[in-house]
Amino acid sequence: MRVTLADDGVVIREGLARLLTEAGIEIVAQVGDADALREVVRADPPDVALVDIRMPPTFTDDGLRAAQAIRAEHPGVAVLLLSQYVDVVYALKLVREGKGGIGYLLKDRIVDPPALIDAMERVAAGELVVEPALVEELVSAPKLDDPLDELTPREREILALMAEGRTDRGIREALWLSQKTVESHTRSIFRKLDLPATPSDNRRVHAVLTFLRQASQPAAQ
């Protein structure tokens, strides 16, 4: 796997480079701002770009906007965004695109090489990866007028795994379920969320959007 690193923190960037190199991953380039990231990707597209969301020049969502531009200009380059804090808005922006090859993780994952590399491999394979801690936090908070109330505990569990970017295979392996059982639960989720099959819509993406939108609402008192 060939990787480009983008983080304005030199210590973090070099630490990541050392960690990934020791794991057998080739570091193509290291940059400290969003503009430089787009330039090096354009010059030598990697398999994955590992990008801090908050980078120069504005230290807001420059990394996210650079990631969206990279995905548009270089569909073969996967992007894994790193954030210091859990932020539902960023997760929604990723899922709303309805495309794979992009992910969102907390920077805490840097100290867990297997988890970080697993996420990199998944986005490189075209999956959408969302921080598990974000999904767990959203699931645990009760909401008013929750459209997910009709779902069974198992269906909510499966939808939460969908929100992490897990494929049907990944869900089967995580919950030790058969393919037929996962497919049955998935159809039930789509039906209960009133997501009819149409040629122009991805029901899986809309189900995850429903989950994340509702989860971002204020909790019931």
Give the domain-ending residue among 106, 130, 154.
Answer: 130
Q: Are 77 and 154 within one domain?
A: no
Give the domain-ending residue among 99, 130, 161.
Answer: 130
- 221 belongs to a structural domain: no
Q: pLDDT tens digits for the chain (221 residues)?
A: 999 999 998 888 998 999 999 999 999 999 999 999 999 999 999 999 999 988 888 887 888 889 889 988 999 999 998 888 766 666 666 666 656 788 888 888 787 888 899 999 999 998 888 877 766 655 555 554 566 778 888 998 898 888 888 888 989 999 999 999 999 999 889 888 887 676 545 778 778 777 776 665 545 44
- 109 belongs to a structural domain: yes
Q: Are 33 and 100 within one domain?
A: yes
pTM beyond 0.75: the answer is no
Q: What is the CATH number of the domain that holds 117?
A: 3.40.50.2300
**Whole-number Å distance between alpha carbons of 172 and 181:** 9
Greatest alpha-carbon span in the chain = 53
172's CB contacts (< 8 A; 6+ apart) are 178, 179, 182
- 203 belongs to a structural domain: yes
Range of the domain at 177: 135-215
Q: Are 125 and 209 within one domain?
A: no
Nearest CA-CA partner of 147 in 159, 130, 133, 165: 159
